[in-house]
Amino acid sequence: MQRKTFIALLMLILLSLNSSCWSSHGVSPQYLWQDKEEIVKVRQDQPSAYYKNKKSIVHWAEKVAKQPIPLLTDKDALPPSGNKCDYMSLSIYYWPNSSTPNGLPYVKHDGLVNPEKNNLQCYDAKRLETMVSYLRALALGYAVSGREDLAQHACTILDAWFINPKTSMRPNLEYAQMVPGKNSGQPSGIIETVNLVGMLDDLQMLEGSQAYTPERQKALQKWFGAYADWLHKSQHGQKENTAKNNHGVWYDAQLAAFYHFSGRDKLAKSILQQVAKKRLEPQLAADGSFPLELARTRPMNYSLYVLRAYMTLARLGDILGVNLYDAQTSKGVGLKTAIDYILPYVRGEKVLPKQDVTPWNSNSFLLMLHTANKHYKDKAYEK
């Protein structure tokens, strides 16, 4: 009887370890953009308001696993460096110049996205977007099912993009958001790696799998550490750091997240400690709005976007002991004030005086709000 009890207890422990899908060699007790508790619910076949059911998630991952991996080296065009492993993209609001025979230099139409940005022969933005979506599908698929084949395919993508020297992205964005006829890249291009912050959640989901080894984790930490150094030291990075709108906030969020992942929490924490004075103070109005975002041609989109950046920083603060959820400016306003300002517009109870020139989507913001509400515990935020 004792032997049977011991075996049953051992099986229960092993099942518990397997169901968690994250191991001790990770760096964060929580995700930045995803909800770990909700994902566990899905794994246990419980309903979730924020994720599809297990069957749908696994089906999505299986479809992705059959797709070829999009690589930077697939493009025909050569970056100015002559190395296809350098990321290259088009500044999305710039279009051919109708007043010149060759269309150069491109001219800006703020808020109107040039579909040429998705030209895979020339640019990498679509590839990066696709890679991130594939990795998310596979990581979620593994997290809810424990299937090693999905984790293995996710690691194959990680190797191709960040580890294999023949195909991996060099840790810089020197040629991001170039304007044909004007420049080969801009500081604002740094915004294009925002989704790599969310990718850190995927890496946590893969922890516990046989494929995501400590050696792979170290190699990825090395890449993100090198990219963080480029963000901090490069001319593009230093310029983006001075941006007054969402670009500056996302610069901080990226740099802090990548410092944290690469094991340099002291540097990450120093960024977080400056957020209230450096970013919130000059950006957040007394009513909770962000005037610089409201002035754009996509005011709702950018208001939600900058709030996501601030909530990302607040989540990092949760991990590193810096409370940004309750930080306030000299006007007595803070992140919660900003959330309360925008929510009636998200719910359709109010309409901004200036309408977005293109449709906006609040899904990512609402998931971030859900995770932020673990701190605020405001029932109104869960409606």
Residue 4 lies in a domain: no
* Final residue in a domain of this structure, among 242, 277, 296: 242
Q: Are residues 140 and 237 in the same domain?
A: yes
pLDDT at 25 over 70: no
Rounded CA-CA distance 184/72 in Å is: 17
Q: Are residues 74 and 204 in the same domain?
A: yes
Mean pLDDT of the region 120-130: 98
Rounded CA-CA distance 229/154 in Å is: 26
Which stretch of DSSP H or E encloses residue 178? Answer: strand 175-178
Q: Are residues 348 and 237 in the same domain?
A: no
3-state secondary structure 85-106: CCCEEECCCEECCCCCCCCCCC
Residue type, 226: A
Lookup result for tokens 């002291």: 266
% the chain with pLDDT above 90: 91
3-class secondary structure, 77: coil
Q: For residue range 144-165, what is the model confidence (pLDDT) as tens digits? A: 999 999 999 999 999 999 999 9
Q: What is the overall mean pLDDT for the chain?
A: 93
Q: Are residues 331 and 377 in the same domain?
A: yes
Helices (H), 176-213: 195-206
pLDDT computed for residue 28 by the predictor: 56
Q: For residue range 190-207, what is the model confidence (pLDDT) as tens digits? A: 999 999 999 999 999 999
- Residue pair 288/307 in contact by the 8 Å Cβ criterion: no
3-class secondary structure, 114: coil
Helices (H), the chain: 2-20, 36-43, 54-65, 125-145, 148-158, 195-206, 214-233, 235-241, 246-261, 265-275, 281-283, 291-294, 299-320, 335-346, 363-376
pLDDT computed for residue 30 by the predictor: 84
Lookup result for tokens 């590839």: 127
Residue 134: CATH number of its domain: 1.50.10.100
Q: Are residues 197 and 327 in the same domain?
A: no
Q: Are residues 194 and 307 in the same domain?
A: no
Question: How many CB atoms are located within 10 Å of the residue 27 CB?
Answer: 16
End-to-end C-alpha distance for the chain, whole angstroms? 51
Helices (H), 69-194: 125-145, 148-158
Q: Are residues 281 and 322 in the same domain?
A: yes
pTM attached to this predicted model: 0.92
* Sign of the C-alpha dihedral computed for residues 284, 328, 335 and 205 taken in this order: positive
Q: Are residues 143 and 232 in the same domain?
A: yes
Mean pLDDT of the region 12-17: 37
Residue 160 lies in a domain: yes
Domain with 212, as residue range(s), is: 35-93+120-242
Rounded CA-CA distance 136/151 in Å is: 11
Residue 104 lies in a domain: no
Rounded CA-CA distance 277/279 in Å is: 6
Complete DSSP assignment for 47-63 = --SSS--HHHHHHHHHH
Rounded CA-CA distance 21/17 in Å is: 7
Residue 370 in tokens: 């859900």
Count: domains in the chain: 2
pLDDT computed for residue 245 by the predictor: 97
Q: For residue range 309-356, what is the model confidence (pLDDT) as tens digits? A: 999 999 999 999 999 999 999 999 999 999 999 999 999 999 999 999
Q: Are residues 330 and 376 in the same domain?
A: yes
Residue 211 lies in a domain: yes
Q: Are residues 139 and 88 in the same domain?
A: yes
Q: Are residues 169 and 218 in the same domain?
A: yes
* Final residue in a domain of this structure, among 242, 277, 297: 242
% the chain with pLDDT above 70: 92
* Final residue in a domain of this structure, among 184, 207, 242: 242
Rounded CA-CA distance 66/59 in Å is: 11
3-class secondary structure, 110: coil
pLDDT at 374 over 50: yes
Residue 259 lies in a domain: no
Residue 6 lies in a domain: no
Phi, psi for 356 (deg, rounded to 5): -65, 145
Lookup result for tokens 């493009």: 75
**Residues contacting 21, CB < 8 A, separation 6+:** 43, 142, 143, 146, 205, 206, 207, 208, 209
Lookup result for tokens 């011991």: 6
Residue 82 lies in a domain: yes
Peptide bond into 105 cis (omega under 30): yes
- Residue pair 299/354 in contact by the 8 Å Cβ criterion: yes
Residue 235 lies in a domain: yes
Q: Are residues 232 and 273 in the same domain?
A: no
